[in-house]
Amino acid sequence: MLLTSSTHNHTTLCDGKSTPAEMAAAALAAGFTDFGFSGHSCAPFDMEYAVRSEEEYVRILRALQAEYAGRLRIAVGMEQDYYAPVQDRATLDYIIGSVHYLRDGAGRYYAVDGAPEDVDACVARMFGGDALAMARAYYALVAENVRRFHPEIIGHFDLIKKNNRGGRLFDEEDPAYRAAALEALAACAETGAVFELNTGGLFRGSTDEPYPARFLLDALRAMGVRVTVNADAHCAEALCFWFDEALALLREAGFARVAVWENGAFTDKPL
């Protein structure tokens, strides 16, 4: 088995449906050697989806890590939103750098992966109806996030496409859209962070392809950037969703290796 771990997984400690114990048991049953938790970092402006207490989160998962010692190496990471930096990074094994929100001048937050109405409101209020301008602002923030916080992993790079099925808001083949995405991609790649091929949108039926899109994968391959595979699982059933297809996609895109989390670091395994 090539993929013996994953690093982007949620639990009931944030907006997931399975408990940490259920996720760890599922990882062990799937034959994983390593398993990383990545709750949404504490976000006072959106308590619905985020970890309530970072301290408690770390304490619970470190206890689980000790319980599983010798059977499954558990890593305690965090999915850090740009607007919700972690309180104590030293207590974590890694962070995933993600952008979920745009914030307007009045301090209102809009979840780009939220309800379509919220995204429409964001386009109308923040960008005067110009959805391409919203996409540009999103990618600028993705690049800023990575430059500023140097996450080990870059989460769902083109999440902004989630609410754009059928080109509802902007044209993903528009050279202006692609240029904004590619510029951010290059800035992120420079930091040496590992990108994830994220299958979570596919599992939840909100996208028709993984993150990132094929033209971005091609650019990553051309730049020699390391890519790992993650399900962004919010329940045990999603743990390895679309993993075989993801590996086939990477091979087809010309990648020779996939980055796999093992014993506290990424290792490159031949595809």
* Choices 53-61, 96-104, 119-127, 208-216; region in contact with Zn ion by CB under 5 A: 96-104
Q: How many CA atoms lie within 13 A of 1 on its CB side?
A: 11
Distance in angstroms (rounded) separating the CA atoms of residues 136 and 75: 34
Q: How far is the CB of 39 from Zn ion (least distance, A)?
A: 9
Q: How far is the CB of 26 from Zn ion (least distance, A)?
A: 17
Bridge partner list, 80: 97
Distance in angstroms (rounded) separating the CA atoms of residues 106 and 87: 25
Of the candidates 185, 232, 235, 246, which one interacts with Zn ion according to CB under 5 A?
232
Task: State yes or no: residue 98 binds Zn ion (CB under 5 A).
Answer: yes
* Choices 44-52, 67-75, 90-98, 131-139; region in contact with Zn ion by CB under 5 A: 90-98
Residue 189: helix, strand or coil by DSSP? helix
Provide CB contacts within 8 A for 190, sequence distance 6+: none
- Name which of 99 and 224 has its Cβ closer to Zn ion: 99
- Name which of 79 and 152 has its Cβ closer to Zn ion: 79
Q: How far is the CB of 270 from Zn ion (least distance, A)?
A: 28
- Report DSSP state, residue 37: E
- Name which of 79 and 93 has its Cβ closer to Zn ion: 79
Per-residue interface string for the shown chain with Zn ion, residues 43-82, x marking contact by CB under 5 A: ------------------------------------x---
Distance in angstroms (rounded) separating the CA atoms of residues 204 and 211: 13
Task: State yes or no: residue 163 binds Zn ion (CB under 5 A).
Answer: no
- Name which of 98 and 228 has its Cβ closer to Zn ion: 98
Task: State yes or no: residue 11 binds Zn ion (CB under 5 A).
Answer: no
Q: How far is the CB of 232 from Zn ion (least distance, A)?
A: 4
Element containing residue 149 per DSSP (H, E): helix 131-149
Q: How far is the CB of 155 from Zn ion (least distance, A)?
A: 5
Query: SS3 for 54-107, per residue?
Result: HHHHHHHHHHHHHHCCCCCEEEEEEEEECCECCCCHHHCCEEEEECCEEECCCC
- Name which of 46 and 232 has its Cβ closer to Zn ion: 232
- By residue count, the chain amounts to 271
Q: How far is the CB of 12 from Zn ion (least distance, A)?
A: 14
- Residue written as token pair 């599922």: 26
Residues found near Zn ion in the complex (CB under 5 A) = 79, 98, 232
